[in-house]
Structure 1
Amino acid sequence: MKITYYGHSALLVESSDAAVIMDPFLSGNPKSGISPEEIKVDAVLLTHGHSDHLGDAIEISKNNNCPIFAVFELAEYCRIKGAQVKHMNIGGSHTYSGITVKYTPAIHSSSFQDGDTWIYTGQAAGILLTMGGKTLYHAGDTALFGDLRLIGERNAIDISALPIGDMLTMGPDDALLAARWLRAEKVIPLHYNTFPAIAQDGADFCDRLQQEGIVGFPLLPGESIEV
Structure 2
Amino acid sequence: MRVTYLGHACVSIEIEGKHFLVDPFISANPLASHISIDAVKADYILLTHAHADHILDAEAIAKRTGAKLITNPEILAHYRQLGVDGHEMNIGGSHRFLDGKVKIKMIKAVHSSSFPDGSYGGNPAGFLVNYQERTIYISGDTALTMDMKIIPHQYKIDLAIFPIGNNYTMGVRDALTAASFVETNNVLGVHYDTFDVIKIDKEASKRKFSDGHKRLHLLEIGDSLEVDDLI
Q: TM-score, normalised by structure 2?
A: 0.92
Which shifted more, 123-132 or 168-177? Answer: 123-132
Q: Which residue of 2 aligns with 1:130?
A: 130
Q: How does 1:20-99 map to 2 (within 5 A)?
A: 20-32=20-32, 33-97=34-98, 98-99=101-102
- Partners of 1:28 and 1:196 lie apart in 2 by 15
Q: Which residue of 1 aligns with 2:149?
A: 149
The alignment's C-alpha RMSD in Å is 1.3
| SS of equivalent residue, structure 1 residue 151 | helix
Of residues 112, 117, 123, the one that matches 1:109 is: 112
Q: Which amino acid aligns with 2:165?
A: G
1:77-123, CA deviations, whole angstroms, 9 ceiling, x for partnerless residues? 11111111111100111111243211100100000123xxx110100
- Checking the alignment, whether the CA contact within 8 Å between 1:4 and 1:11 is kept in structure 2 is yes
Runs (4+) of structure 1 exceeding 4 A deviation are none
Q: Which runs of 5+ in 2 are unaligned?
A: none
Q: Which residue of 2 aligns with 1:185?
A: 185
Which shifted more, 118-127 or 55-64? Answer: 55-64
Q: Which amino acid aligns with 1:89?
A: N
- The count of residues paired between Structure 1 and Structure 2 equals 224
- Checking the alignment, whether the CA contact within 8 Å between 1:6 and 1:31 is kept in structure 2 is no
Q: Which runs of 5+ in 1 are unaligned?
A: none
| SS of equivalent residue, structure 1 residue 111 | coil
1:190-219, CA deviations, whole angstroms, 9 ceiling, x for partnerless residues? 111001011112332222212222222111
1:46-88, CA deviations, whole angstroms, 9 ceiling, x for partnerless residues? 1111000012111111111121000111111111111111111
| SS of equivalent residue, structure 1 residue 53 | helix
